[in-house]
Each structure stands twice: as C-alpha cells, then as structure tokens.
C-alpha cells in the first residue's frame, strides 16, 4: 500500500471513528453511526459482508444496523442486476441527511417529551396551591420553548437548503454588510 493510500485509509478510519463517537453523544448507537459514516464515505454501495469486514462487526449487528439506517431514511438498499447480494448506500446530500436526522430525533425524543409535559400540566390543572402554580409555570415555560424549537426545526427542515443557509447567516450576523 502506498503512502497516499495509507493516508487516505487513516483519514477515513479517523472520520468513521469520530462519527461513531459523535453519534454516541447524540444518543445514536456508535455502530450505527460508524456504519453510516462508512456508507457515506464509500464511492460505491457496500454489501453486508463488506460492512462486516471493514468495521469488524458481526453479521447480526451489520444486518440490524443497516435495516435501522434504511428505516431512518439515511441509507437505501441497492439491488445489482444478476447479484443475489443486497447492497447499501447512504444519503450523500448533507442537507437532506441533516433534515432526516433532525426530524427523526424530534419524533423520537422531543415529541414524547412534549406529550409528557402536556400530560403533567393537565394533571395539575385543577390544583390551586402555590406549589402547583409554580410547577405549572415552570412546565409551561419548558413546553413553550420546546414547541418553539419544534416549529423552528419544522420550518428549517421543510425549507430549501439555500434559503435556509441565507437565513441562518443573516440571523448569525454573517450574511454580509448590514444596511
């Protein structure tokens, strides 16, 4: 293997490891994030066997992880003519990938939390004590912020990439000269 190939392999392995670590800190299984990184950085679709060999994981782990990535919409199954093996490729568009992950995390994490907050507020709606009023006030503040965040996320992920990027730059004050 040449020095350039070694450098490429090292950089790719470092990216896959870091993507896995980031995934863990975001509440996504490390292996799922690593498989996603492998598919994302692969020029061609990969078979389950290739994923297993590259990441040194079991067939069961590879199958489960690939199915989960397909379920999230971050990967898709590819059938090659004349082949019995199933291949997988990742979504390569980073904006689409961000939108998919953001929507899925909202659905899995934020939406259930909002439902719980609403149930808690309903449970204490008839209570008139000072303690209940403080509790209601705090929960209403959290609920309001979470609902706002959900609406913002919905607008961002349903908008066009270029328009959203311009808006983000404007909000951050990096959109060029100000009038």
119 near 111, Cβ under 8 Å?
no
The length of the chain is 179
Give the domain-ending residue among 90, 111, 145.
90
Q: Are 175 and 169 in contact (CB under 8 A)?
A: yes
Q: What percent of the chain has pLDDT over 70?
A: 96
Question: Does 176 fall in a domain?
Answer: no
- Specify the pLDDT at position 66: 97
pLDDT in tens, 96-152: 998 988 888 899 889 999 999 999 999 999 899 999 999 999 999 999 999 999 998
Considering the domain architecture, whether residues 81 and 38 belong to the same structural domain is answered as: yes
Domain boundary residue, one of 65, 90, 115: 90
Name every residue whose Cβ is closer than 8 Å to that of residue 143 and which is 6 or more positions away in sequence: 114, 117, 118, 121
Same domain for 57 and 123, yes or no, is: no
Give per-residue pLDDT as tens, 4-37: 788 989 999 999 999 999 988 777 899 999 999 9
The Cβ-side half-sphere exposure at 81, using a 13 Å CA radius, reads: 0
pTM, two decimal places: 0.77
Residue 60 to residue 75: CA distance in whole angstroms: 17
Query: Into how many domains does the chain fold?
Result: 2
User: In degrees rounded to 5, what are phi and psi of residue 120?
Assistant: -65, -45
In which domain, by residue range, is 58 found? 3-90
Cα end-to-end distance, the chain, whole Å: 56
pLDDT at 169 over 90: no
Cβ neighbour number for residue 156 with a 10 Å cutoff: 16
Is residue 89 classed as helix, strand or coil in its secondary structure?
strand
Residue 179 lies in a domain: no
């Amino acid at each position: 293997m040449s020095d350039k190939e070694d450098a490429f392999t090292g950089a790719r392995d470092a990216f896959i490891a870091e993507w896995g670590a980031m995934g863990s800190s975001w509440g996504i299984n490390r292996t799922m994030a690593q498989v996603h990184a492998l598919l994302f950085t692969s020029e061609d679709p990969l078979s389950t066997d290739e994923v297993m060999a590259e990441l040194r994981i079991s067939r069961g782990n590879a199958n489960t992880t690939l199915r989960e990535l397909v379920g999230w919409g971050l990967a898709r199954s590819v059938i090659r003519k004349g082949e019995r093996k199933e291949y997988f490729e990742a979504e390569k568009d980073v904006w689409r990938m961000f939108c998919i992950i953001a929507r899925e995390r909202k659905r899995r994490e934020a939406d259930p939390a909002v439902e719980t907050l609403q149930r808690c507020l309903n449970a204490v709606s008839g209570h008139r004590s000072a303690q209940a009023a403080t509790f209601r006030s705090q929960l209403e503040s959290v609920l309001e912020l979470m609902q706002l965040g959900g609406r913002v996320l919905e607008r961002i992920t349903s908008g066009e990439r270029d328009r959203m990027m311009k808006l983000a730059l404007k909000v951050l004050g990096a959109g060029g000269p100000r009038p």
